[in-house]
Amino acid sequence: MEKLFMKLFRTFLVVVLFGNAAAAEGLAAPKGDILLTVTGDIGQHNAGEAAQFDRAMLMKLGTREVVTHTIWTEGPQSFVGVPLKTFAMALGIKDGTIAATAVNDYSVNIPWSDVEEDFALLALDRNGEPMTVRDKGPIWLIFPYDDDPRFRQETYHARSIWQLQRIDIKR
Amino acid sequence: MATLGTGQSAQPPRAIEFSRNSLVRRGLAVCIVALLIGVIVVLVIEVRHQLEQLNASAATNVQWSLGQAETEVMALQIATQTAILAPDEPDLLKHVRLRFDVVYSRIDTLNRADVLIELRKLPGMEARLALTQAFRSDWVPLIDGPDAALRPALPQLFDQAELVRQAVRALALDGVSFFARAGDVRRIEISRILSSIGMMTVALVGILLILMIAVLRLARQREREARLNHETRERLETIVSTSLDAVVVIDQTDRVIEWNGAAERVFGYTNREAVGAEMSSLIVPEHFRPMHRQAMQRYARTGVGRVVGRGIVQLEARHKDGSIFPVDLSLAEAQGPRGEIFVAFMRDITDRVRAEQALRRARDRAVAGEKQKAELLAVMSHEMRTPLNGILGTLDLCETEQLDEKNRRHLRIIRQSGEVLLSHVNDVLDISRLDAGKMPLRKRRFDLVALMREIIDSQTPRASALGNKLHLLPPSPELHNAYSDPDRLRQILLNLVSNAIKFTRNGRITLEADVSEGLNAVELRVTDTGDGIAAQDLGRIFDDFVTIDSSYGRRNTGTGLGLGISQRLAVALGGELGAESEPGDGSLFWVRLPMDPPADAPVARIPANEPQAAPPRALDVLLVEDNAINREVARQMLERDGHRVTITEDGQQGLDAAAVRRFDVILMDISMPGLDGMTAARMIRAGKGPNVRTPIVATTAHALPEEVRAFRAVGMDRVLTKPITVASLRRTLTEMLGRGGVTTPDPEAASGGTDASQALAETAPPRIDAAHFREVTEELADDHLRAMLANCAKEIDRFLDHLPEALAAPDPTFGSLSQEAHRLAGSAGVFGALPMAGLLRQFQTMARSEDLAALCTQGRELARCWDETCAELARRGYAEQVDAND
């Protein structure tokens, strides 16, 4: 089920990236499993007032690899995913708070400054494998914890939401 | 000033001690404060670290995760229950699968998360975690399997999930207490560190308080010192402002800093005008300004000054109105706030200098008067000696052998009286020396008995003429070998005896010598039975130029000096002279003298007046004498003794004769027209003729010591003082030739002259004759000598400076150059600058012969010799005098 999910997502990401290249054409519809639904004050939509993304659409936005320890895992972990800032730009988001909600309804607000700083990563792959719900996927918002002590503080631990499902942009 | 001095001297050590203590204290305090701050910093860092740890522990998040695990399991149970209740809904199964995945993820976290390592080590945890893992692995196949297989297993899933829920809950509860405990440990640690920081801070504040108190005390002390300084300064300012002397303070750049009231009065500038101005442009006369600036620069550079700290210096200063006036300056150096300052005390000494100048002029006039007197005496002595020379010389020519005893006695009396007269002339010359304490004494062994007999003999005719009888009481044989100056003693006794004769009529005059107290206190007594002297006059008769009463004055020898000279002579000979008298009962004059010969005194010599044996062999004598009488007398004396005499009438003739053949001895008159004796002698010595080494005897009436030295300087060996007597002539010739013709100085000048002919033969004679110079320094008062020397040096400098110019003139004034050189030669000779004197005399001769080329050469020679002479004088401590005109 996850594999299918991922396949759809990947396809979707390609579309999104193309679409993004020509922003006027709008956001394409996801073809695979929907990994992320974005609502609120966004410039692009493909499902009514919302924007939905499969893995492909997300991966097409451009990825980055972050290698870091986390307190929830053993040993250094290699994460690959879409930088939150890249993602926000793709959606034409200029400002606002990001309210992120997980599969288990865990919810946290991420301030715009975290977006601006461009450290936050919407990780899709861990150690070369796409993440599933069983290992905190399909999307895990992580920070480079090893790079800066402040990321090892309670605040950033709380913002590091896993099994991310929905994002609501509030101005 | 005393209190000021004490205050100043007491202050610095205390301040130094204080500053040393405070330095130590301050250093210690700084160390402690730094240590405390360091500890606090370390602790703060520690706290920060602990707090970070507290943060990093993510306790809240972890506990949330733990608590959330139970919730997730319950969500799975609910999804399972819902799916059981609605078996036809496939979406519900899908939901169960999603919830299982979430639980799966949670179980994974519980088993793997780094943050839970410590928790997992707690007892009982392993079993719980194993349960969760078993649940997960048991159900993954069914969850991932088809709906048909999953659906019937749902109730079982629910029940097993319940077991997992309970295990997870227990785990969460243990976690809560575990993390609480861990947090407590951290918090206790933090609180311990915080209290340490607190204590440190209290200590720090304490130390700062102590420092503050110390600083306050310091400030109070400073204030006290400042007040003291202020008072001192005010006192000083009062002293400066009320000073009678001008007080001027300048800085290193010559700017006036202080200018007191006296300075305003002395220099005419007000304080407002002066302060800030350049001192040299205010009060230093224009011609001294470059020197002043150089001195300032030199002092700044080397720290050595000619005026600073050298006591009082006399300088010239300039008034605002442009007038120049003399000041006494005392300059000191001190430290000001901006480097060195100079404090000058100045006093206007115009009046004093004027008074000094007046005094100096008066003294100069007096000295000039004295000099004129001395010159007069010298001239007179010359004028008197020339006829005396004739008388005495002619007497010597009398054929005494052909006379009877009586006439011989008469002739001897005439001659002896003539000699007495000559000695009077000499005595008159000696008066000034006597007064100056420079009477030349010629102490030697002599026969006092013979001397007394001679006096009795010479005075008996005069005594008889007045009806007096002259007696000599038989003297002690000891007196045959007395030691004193017989000439002076004769003078004294003659004076006393002739006085006694004059004031006695038909009486008796006795001369006696008393040696009852030994030879070291011989008392000679002249007793008469004459008028006597009133008691009130007795003390005055020895005073100079005192005439006791008209009769005494008239009947005395006429000079009014006789007794005065006698008394002084007695004192000079180391004895005393006195008189006792009762009016109408005669007088007693006594002389008490030491006459014991010193151990090293030479054996008695034949008295000067005794006939002298002629030299053992006949000599070839060249006689140079312009005076016909003297020439004739000397010729006869020489020929009678068998010598061959060649006569010449002036210096040039003498020189010519000397060039022809060798003589055994040359008698050379000094004062001659044309070529004088000294020049002739010098030329003989300087030339290559046959008489280069022939002894030359100067014959002269000028017997002054400085002249004698000048004769020696040009190479003359001896001086024969006119009038020439057979005895003195014979003695001179005998002594000179008796030593094989080797020239030696006579005893009188044994310490004074060098052997001039030998000296001239030497390649580099000393520029100053040591013995000669010593004699001059002994004879003259030091300041007088220095003044003379400075004057002489100035004149020679001037002469040498003008010489090239004078020689380059179209018509050189050879005459005046010659005269000037002659004069300077005399001056130089006085100080023993014998080579200089010699060169000057050569110059004098050359100038007379108008030899311009030789004069130029000689001028250069003179300049070189003079430089060396000055250097020599400088070495002898007269640098100031000879450098004065440089």
Element spanning B334, H or E: strand B324-336
Query: A149 to chain B: which residues are within 8 Å by CB?
Result: 52, 56
What tens digit of pLDDT does each residue of A40-78 get? 888 888 888 888 998 888 888 889 999 998 888 888 999
Helix, strand, coil in percent for chain A, rounding step 5: 30, 30, 40
- Taking the C-alpha atoms of residue A89 and residue A100, their distance in angstroms, rounded to an integer, is 17
**Tokens representing residue B648 in the block:** 């010449």
Strand, coil or helix: B732: helix
The residue of chain B with its CA nearest to that of A103 is B102
B contact set with A (CB within 8 A):
52, 55-56, 58-62, 65, 68, 71-72, 75, 97-98, 101-102, 104-105, 108-109, 112-115
- Judged by a CB distance cut-off of 8 A, whether residue A22 touches chain B is no
Dmax (CA) for chain B in angstroms is: 209
Q: Tell me how many residue pairs between chain A and chain B have CB atoms under 8 A apart.
A: 63
Output DSSP code: residue B468: -
In a mutational test of the A interface, the residue from B105, B106, B111, B139 whose CB has the highest number of chain A CBs within 10 Å is B105
- Taking the C-alpha atoms of residue B501 and residue B587, their distance in angstroms, rounded to an integer, is 11
Residues 122 through 151 of chain A touching chain B, CB cutoff 8 Å: 132-136, 149
For A157, which of B58, B71, B98 is closest by C-beta distance?
B58
Helix/strand number for chain B, H first, E second: 29, 17
Parallel/antiparallel/unpaired status of strands B696-700 and B665-669: parallel
Which of 2.40.128, 1.10.10, 1.20.120, 1.10.150 is the CATH number of B776-883? Answer: 1.20.120
The residue of chain A with its CA nearest to that of B144 is A1
Is B811:B850 a contact under the CB 8 Å cutoff? no
- Taking the C-alpha atoms of residue B804 and residue B801, their distance in angstroms, rounded to an integer, is 7
Per-residue pLDDT at A83 exceeds 90: yes
Is B519:B590 a contact under the CB 8 Å cutoff? no
Domain ranges of chain B: 14-238, 243-348, 441-593, 620-753, 776-883
pLDDT of residue B261: 87
C-alpha B248, offset from chain centre: 27
pLDDT of residue B884: 46
Is B684:B648 a contact under the CB 8 Å cutoff? no
Kindly report the backbone phi and psi dihedral angles of residue B444, in degrees, each rounded to the nearest multiple of 5, phi listed first: -160, 170
Helix/strand number for chain A, H first, E second: 5, 10
Cβ separation B113–A162 shorter than 8 A: no
Query: A157 to chain B: which residues are within 8 Å by CB?
Result: 58, 61
The residue among A159, A130, A156 whose CA lies nearest residue A35 is A130
The residue among A99, A111, A109 whose CA lies nearest residue A38 is A99
pLDDT of residue B188: 86
pLDDT of residue A18: 47
Cβ separation B98–A103 shorter than 8 A: yes
What tens digit of pLDDT does each residue of B331-375 get? 888 888 888 888 888 888 889 889 989 999 999 999 888 778 767
The reply to whether ipTM tops 0.90 is no
Fold of B243-348: Beta-Lactamase (3.30.450)
Cβ separation B104–A133 shorter than 8 A: yes
Which of 3.30.565.10, 3.30.420.10, 3.30.70.260, 3.20.20.220 is the CATH number of B441-593? Answer: 3.30.565.10
Q: For B437, left (φ over 0), alpha (ψ -120 to 50), or beta?
A: left
Q: How many CB atoms lie within 10 A of CB B762?
A: 10
What tens digit of pLDDT does each residue of B311-333 get? 888 888 999 998 999 899 888 88
Total domains, chain A: 1
Distance from CA of B109 to the nearest CA of A (A): 6
Q: How many CB atoms lie within 10 A of CB B13?
A: 9
pLDDT of residue B29: 75
pTM of the model: 0.37
pLDDT of residue B19: 58
**Residues in chain A, total:** 171
- Taking the C-alpha atoms of residue B687 and residue B660, their distance in angstroms, rounded to an integer, is 12
CATH number at residue A118: 3.90.420.10
Name B235's Cβ contacts closer than 8 Å, sequence gap at least 6.
B4
- Taking the C-alpha atoms of residue B662 and residue B693, their distance in angstroms, rounded to an integer, is 9
The residue of chain B with its CA nearest to that of A164 is B102
pLDDT of residue B54: 65
Domain that holds residue A123: 2-168
Cβ separation A133–B55 shorter than 8 A: no
Query: A156 to chain B: which residues are within 8 Å by CB?
Result: none
Query: B105 to chain A: which residues are within 8 Å by CB?
Result: 133-136, 162-163
pLDDT of residue B757: 33
pLDDT of residue A139: 93
* Residue in this structure with the two tokens 């050879």, named with its chain if needed: B814
* Residue in this structure with the two tokens 């002397």, named with its chain if needed: B245
**Tokens representing residue B16 in the block:** 């130094």
Q: What is the three-state SS of B612-662?
A: CCCCCCCCEEEEECCCHHHHHHHHHHHHHCCCEEEEECCHHHHHHHHHHCC
Name B404's Cβ contacts closer than 8 Å, sequence gap at least 6.
none
Distance from CA of B189 to the nearest CA of A (A): 19
Q: At what angle do helices B814-830 and B834-848 cross, to 10 degrees?
A: 160
CATH 3.40.50.2300 fits B620-753, yes or no: yes
Element spanning B590, H or E: strand B587-593
Cβ separation A71–B62 shorter than 8 A: yes
For A163, which of B65, B105, B114 is closest by C-beta distance?
B105
Name A84's Cβ contacts closer than 8 Å, sequence gap at least 6.
A98, A110, A114, A115, A118, A120, A121, A122, A141
Distance from CA of A153 to the nearest CA of B (A): 5
**Which residues of chain B carry a pLDDT beneath 50?**
1-16, 549-558, 604-611, 739-764, 884-886
Cβ separation A72–B109 shorter than 8 A: yes
